Amino acid sequence: MDTLNPYIFRAYDVRGKVGRDITPPVFELVGRAYGTLVSRRGGRTVALGMDNRISSTELKAAFGAGVLSTGVDVVDIGVNHTPLLYFAAAHWGLDGGATVTGSHNPVSDNGVKMVHAGAAPLTEDEIQGLLASIRTGDFERGSGRSTARDPREDYLGAITGHVRLARRLKVVVDAGNGIAGAFAPEPIRVNGMPHALITSGSRDPATPVAGSRRVAAQLGGRYLPAEGFHALYLQGNRCVREHAHRYLTTGQLPPPTASC
């Protein structure tokens, strides 16, 4: 096992430097400890997601494997922002949830936020309890089942069902390279706001500007360079939005023959 730094067990989450403190073996242990906590509270199923950091994919897989090893089922919600994880856990009536995310911290960091049923956060004592379980090897044993489900449609419906604008607005959203860049356009569009400037939501801050130019030119969007970041005007039909969403979340460019 990698050396376990006790200081990654914070007041509200588990978080530290990737490769030094935060590694897949460490996250598998954290997943086992969290699954044990859920199981001993009578829980059976939790949601699991991640942000768009490059390190999140491996860490999420390791954390999920740890949870499954305790007999707790996992509902994989894919790439998400943290509020979407909270929504999925509460809206679907699950027994908890976790999302691998470094939050507002630099790309060199990553972590995991964990909740109980109803999206109630773990207490500081419970997070320290995870550390204690790891140190003593006190884990439940079992074979959980993993399934996948996308909460975005339910989430968007909940937002648009509660928000009604008195007038149409022109909105600008600067998400940097954060995951919000992949989720903000749709509720803005549904609420009747015709323009949304979304900075790159790609996984890698080094995503080449040329990629944004190509997406914009090929699909009829608008590319706007400014102060070192790159952006896309996400407007148009469903085809445009789907290709832009794929690029912003994965960096995958549309095929050369794609058109909208």
49: nearest Cα among 146, 189, 190, 122: 146
- Distance between CA atoms of 169 and 184, rounded to whole angstroms? 14
Tally of CB atoms within 10 A around 17: 16
Find all residues with CB under 8 Å of 161, minimum gap 6, and list them. none
**Annotated catalytic residue 103:** yes
Q: Which pair of structure tokens corresponds to residue 67?
A: 């949870």
64: nearest Cα among 180, 148, 138, 154: 148
Opening angle at CA 188, ends 185 and 190, nearest 5: 105
Active-site annotation holder among 103, 200, 202, 259: 103
- Distance between CA atoms of 29 and 35, rounded to whole angstroms? 10
- Distance between CA atoms of 91 and 257, rounded to whole angstroms? 40
3-class DSSP assignment, residue 76: strand
212: nearest Cα among 179, 244, 175: 244
SS3 sequence, 141-194? CCCCCEEECCCHHHHHHHHHHHCCCCCCCCEEECCCCCCHHHHCHHHHHHCCCC
3-class DSSP assignment, residue 53: coil
Catalytic residue list = 103
